[in-house]
């Protein structure tokens, strides 16, 4: 095997390991909202932080997004199940209040669905 081929194989293996880590290895942090708490969500390095949020049913869901990720796709946050979309200008704090919900999981994503977060209403 030539040196180039070995290098290409090594690169491919590293890429596969990275992809596996990206999708399965990174542990989601769950954040439980206290009464009337505004949940601050940072968009950076390809993720929402926190990405997993637990809120109480029947209460407005108060979120505050701040995006430090310049990726254009991350400019929009989509709550597909609620048919709501908001734009997130870079480095600006954006308040988003979702209407009270019954128990369910509400996903939020970027435009292409690469950045993913979930609100669990309990």
Q: Which residues bind Cu ion (CB under 5 A)?
A: 73, 110, 112, 114
Distance in angstroms (rounded) separating the CA atoms of residues 45 and 23:
14
Instruction: For the chain, give the number of residues.
Output: 122
Listed in order, strand segments (DSSP E) in 1-122 are 30-32, 39-44, 47-49, 52-55, 61-67, 76-79, 84-87, 93-98, 104-109, 116-121
Least distance CB 18 / Cu ion (angstroms): 18
Nearer to Cu ion, 47 or 53 (CB): 47
Least distance CB 73 / Cu ion (angstroms): 3
Distance in angstroms (rounded) separating the CA atoms of residues 51 and 107:
10
Nearer to Cu ion, 44 or 59 (CB): 44
Q: What residue number has its CB nearest to Cu ion?
A: 73
Nearer to Cu ion, 77 or 110 (CB): 110
Nearer to Cu ion, 56 or 111 (CB): 111
Least distance CB 70 / Cu ion (angstroms): 12
97 to each of 6, 31, 45, 65, how far by Cα in Å? 53, 17, 24, 11
Least distance CB 72 / Cu ion (angstroms): 8
Q: Are 119 and 61 in contact (CB under 8 A)?
A: yes
């Amino acid at each position: 095997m030539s040196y180039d081929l070995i290098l290409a194989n090594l690169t491919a293996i590293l890429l596969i390991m990275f992809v596996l880590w990206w999708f399965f290895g990174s542990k989601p942090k769950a954040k439980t909202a206290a009464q009337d708490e505004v949940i601050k969500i940072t968009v950076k390095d390809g993720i929402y932080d926190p990405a997993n949020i637990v809120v109480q049913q029947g209460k407005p869901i108060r979120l505050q997004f701040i995006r430090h990720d310049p990726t254009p796709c991350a400019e929009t946050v989509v709550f597909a199940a609620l048919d709501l979309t908001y734009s997130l200008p870079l480095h600006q704090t954006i308040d988003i209040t979702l209407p009270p919900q019954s128990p369910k999981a509400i996903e939020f994503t970027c435009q292409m669905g690469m950045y993913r977060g979930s609100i669990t209403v309990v």
